Each structure stands twice: as structure tokens, then as C-alpha cells.
Amino acid sequence: MTRPARKIIHVDCDCFYAAVEMRDDASLRHRPVAVGGDPHRRGVIATCNYAARHFGVRSAMASSQALRLCPELVIVPPNFDKYRKVSAEIHTIFRRFTSQIEPLSLDEAYLDVSDSKQYHNSATRIAEALRREIRQETGITVSAGVAPNKFLAKVASDWRKPDGLFVITPQQVEDFVKALPVTRISGVGRVTAERMASLGLKTCADLQAMTRLELGQQFGSFGERLYHLSRGEDNRPVQTGRRRKSVSVERTYDKDHPHLNDWLRELDGLLEKLRERFAKLDQHYLISGLTAKVKYQDFVSLSCDTAGQHLDAAQFEALFRQLWERRQGPARLLGIGARLRDLKAPQQPDLFPKERELALQRQRTRHL
């Protein structure tokens, strides 16, 4: 018997940090507003309202550049304690409708309402109700997307931003996805989008015309996922107990670090913080790889990774050297991290549980 389609709602607060600040300060409500760092100390924009976006201001942009684009921009320093409190209030409202909630960040979450008894199990009416209650009780507007899976729900929530609701029913999926631009697919960044454009791939219908083999040849391991997403297929469940896939640290500097030796001098401090973060995780994680990242003066970012099971200074140094060889130049940000293997994740039965436990103990001992 075919399983009934899931009913997934993706909820995304509209310019959340800025919205909270405008709610709390009436003088900001009709002005271009951004939340971010000091433009005189290499600050970066975290988010901005739609009035600021009209001038080209966007998240991750240098605050100084944002002010050049929009001289009237009001930049408010972030208050994460306040944002967390508002986020908790919103999640309290979520729980009135379902316990199946997967938070993605302070301002974004998936809800599975497939088994909800409210509003006669109408996901559309549930989405309307939670949007209404969030606005009334917190003063924050949210956009929501309703669809049979997570991929389409996220696409839908962005369809009528801000303060919008868009629904994709199971019967609409086929036609909707065929016309969907490839740039709307999760994981299609600038480089992949340029590659697709060079191949004449504009919509998911274009991707559907390619075989699995052709997609794999053009896009590597991402090709298999493109095959399914271009058909609107996504079987991922809403995960109420999210587990980490990585741990990382990074630092933005007041002054650029122009030379490789400057980069390497920062490694000890970064590695100490990374070890502290790893030590705070529970005992069911193993390290499965190492990564390093640099953001240059012009905001271009590069990263590289390697296999590894330990937070080893020599391996991170080698990664920094690889990045330097790929592009030499002043760094405004450096970061390192580790990919994680979660032993709590579903997997095949372990034939050697004692040996695995001993390996886990040895690995964590080496990090201390």
C-alpha cells in the first residue's frame, strides 16, 4: 500500500533580526535597517530589511560597503539573547500544532503536520493559523510553504516573501517542478549554476531530460540528487533530534593577514578553540575529515579538506598551505573545522562493537 504524501510546512521569519529590532524601536520601521557589525571595524551585515535590500544591501556584505550603497542605512548591533528569546516564543507556537519540528536556525524550521488533528488535518489551514498566531503574539511576520516534502516546502516558503503563504499540492508537483528554475534547487550555488547555464539547463524540465549517467558525468555525486530533486522527489523525514555533521571555528580580523606565515601563526589559537568545541560534544561523534577556509580581502572564499581522524596541527597547516598555493593574498578571515561521523545515526549492525568502542575512546583521548 502506498504511503500517503507527507504534509510539510517550512516556516521562515522575514528578515528576522531586523524585524525584531524594528518591532522594538518604532523609529526604525520606515527606514532601511540592517543588523551587523561596526563598519569602522570590518563588521559584516547579518541581515537587513527589504528597504535596505532595495539598495543592494545583503547579508554577509561588509558593513562599510553596505553604507556606501545606502548612506541612510541604520546598522544595529546584534542582540542574540533577544533573538533567541523571540525564537523560543515562536517554537512554543509551533508545538501547538505538532511535535514534529526540525529547527534549521533561530528563524527557520520544518514542521511535519501529516498526523495533526487540527483544522481537519488541512496543512494549509494550519499554516494560516500559525502565521496568524506568530504575528499576533510576537509581532513578527513569517512566510510559509506547504508541500509534500522538505525540498518543495522550502521552495514554496520563498515564493511569496515577505509575509506570504504558498501551497504545492501533490497533484501540482509535476507541473510545478518542470517550470522551476534550476537556481531554485538546494545546493545549486553560483559555480554549479554557471555550469548549468553553459549546458543550456534553465529549468528542472531540462534536467529531467538527462539520464542519471549524464547527470553524474556533468555534476559528480550531486548528479544523483539532481535527478530526484528535478522531479520533486525528496524522502528526507523531519528530524526532531538533529545531530551535528561538523564542528568548526573561524575568526575575522581587524587587519588583513597578508602572508602565509601570518596565517600559520593563527593556527594554534584556532585549533585550541576547535578542540574545546569538540570536547563539549557528546561521546558519540568520530572525526571523519578536516577542513580549512579562507576569505580574502575581496570577500572571495576558498576551502579545502582532507581525510583525517584527529585534530592534528600538521594536517591543518598542510591545508592552509594548499589554500595559499591556490590563491596567494591577504586574508580577512581564517577558519578550520572537522566533519563528524555520528554513531547514533542509523547504520548497519556493528559486527565489532567492542573494537569500535575502544577506537572511540582512543580517538577522544588523543584530542584532550
Residues in binding site: 12, 107
Tell me the percentage of the chain whose pLDDT exceeds 90: 70
Q: Does domain 1-168 have CATH number 3.40.50.2000?
A: no
pLDDT in tens, 267-302: 998 998 898 888 877 677 899 999 999 999 888 889
Domains 174-229 and 246-367 share a fold: no
- Contact at 8 Å (CB) between 109 and 103? yes
**What residues contact residue 100 under an 8 Å CB cut-off, 6+ apart?**
111, 112, 113, 114, 115, 238, 240
Region 246-367: CATH code: 3.30.1490.100
Q: Which residue has the higher pLDDT, 35 or 106?
A: 35
Residues in binding site for Mg(2+): 12, 107
Q: Does domain 174-229 have CATH number 3.20.20.70?
A: no
pLDDT score of 349: 41
Spell out the domain ranges in the chain.
1-168, 174-229, 246-367
d(CA 184, CA 193): 10
- The mean pLDDT of the chain is 89
What would the mean pLDDT of 338-355 be, rounded to a whole number?
A: 61
Is the pLDDT at 51 greater than 80? The verdict is: yes
pLDDT score of 356: 47
Cis peptide before 39 (omega within 30 of 0): no
Active site residue 108: yes
Q: 6: which 3 cell numbers?
A: 507527507
> Cβ–Cβ contacts within 10 Å for residue 174, how many?
11
Locate all alpha helices (DSSP H) within the chain, ordered by sequence: 16-24, 50-53, 63-69, 80-94, 123-138, 150-157, 173-179, 190-198, 204-208, 212-219, 222-229, 260-265, 267-280, 313-326, 353-367
- Active-site residue, selected from the candidate residues 89, 108, 128, 325: 108
Residue closest to 19 by CA, chosen among 67, 105, 95, 82: 82
Q: Looking at this protein, which amino acid is placed at residue 103?
A: P
pLDDT in tens, 11-21: 999 999 999 99
pLDDT score of 354: 46
Dihedral (C-alpha) 301, 307, 309, 313: value to the nearest 10 degrees? -50
pLDDT in tens, 224-272: 999 999 999 999 999 887 667 889 998 888 789 999 999 999 999 899 8
